[in-house]
């Protein structure tokens, strides 16, 4: 059962934040919808330094995240990854999804930057389209909410 995020209940990020959004070039209409909802929520909660990067695919996300955390001053408060991996007839799907999750976790821990993974592993395109619909269940909203909440939490413990 889907649950909508109560965006109004998210904490405001007073003083702003810097967030990078990594987007896969595959399935651009789905990824763009995720991106639009994500940036809308981020801006509404005080994130005004948003930089978006279009990458060749999801497999490149860990590398790009690593580069951004090492070379892009000022430091990032979070990275959000948006993409779609569609299962086909081979094991390519599993290899891509597994390596993305493993690699992003490794980068996040090493760089001490939260990385939000909203890569949609789906078995048909309709599943991705449903998760990127123009409604309150769009996964871009969930990605933004997770970034806002973890940035807020980190500031509370610092």
Q: Is 55 within a domain? A: yes
Q: Is 8 within a domain? A: no
CATH code at 129? 3.40.50.960
pLDDT, tens only, 76-121: 999 999 999 999 888 888 999 999 999 999 999 999 999 999 999 9
pLDDT value for 73: 77
- Interatomic CA distance for residues 45 and 144, integer angstroms: 9
Q: Is 10 within a domain? A: no
Domain of residue 118: give its range. Answer: 16-157
Q: Is 2 within a domain? A: no
- Interatomic CA distance for residues 30 and 138, integer angstroms: 10
Active site residue 53: no
pLDDT value for 78: 98
Residues in the chain, pLDDT under 70: 72
Q: Who's near 145: CB < 8 A, 6+ residues apart?
A: 5, 7, 10, 41
Q: Is 81 within a domain? A: yes
Q: Is 5 within a domain? A: no
- Interatomic CA distance for residues 55 and 57, integer angstroms: 5
pLDDT value for 91: 83
Q: Is 3 within a domain? A: no
- Interatomic CA distance for residues 86 and 125, integer angstroms: 7
From the list 48, 53, 92, 152, the catalytic residue is 92
Q: Is 9 within a domain? A: no
pLDDT value for 71: 83
- Interatomic CA distance for residues 18 and 51, integer angstroms: 8
The structure's pTM equals: 0.96
Residue with tokens 């789905």: 30
pLDDT value for 58: 97
For 6-54, the DSSP string reads -GGGSPP-TT--EEEEEEESSSHHHHHHHHHHHHHHHHHTT--EEEEEE
| Tokens found for residue 87 | 């299962």
pLDDT value for 2: 82
Number of domains in the chain: 1
């Amino acid at each position: 059962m889907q649950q909508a995020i109560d965006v109004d209940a998210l904490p405001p990020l007073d003083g702003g934040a810097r967030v990078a959004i990594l987007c896969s070039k595959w399935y651009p209409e789905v990824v763009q919808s995720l991106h639009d909802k994500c940036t809308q929520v981020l801006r509404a909660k005080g994130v005004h330094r948003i930089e978006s990067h279009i990458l060749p695919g999801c497999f490149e996300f860990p590398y790009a995240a690593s580069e951004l955390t090492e070379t892009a001053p000022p430091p990032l408060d979070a990275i959000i990854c948006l993409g779609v991996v569609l299962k086909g007839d081979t094991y390519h799907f599993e290899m891509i999804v597994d390596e993305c999750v493993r690699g992003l976790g490794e980068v996040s821990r090493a760089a001490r930057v939260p990385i939000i993974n909203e890569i949609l592993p789906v078995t048909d395109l309709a599943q991705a389209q449903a998760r990127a619909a123009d409604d309150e269940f769009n996964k871009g909203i969930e990605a933004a909410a997770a970034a806002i909440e973890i940035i807020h939490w980190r500031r509370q413990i610092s």
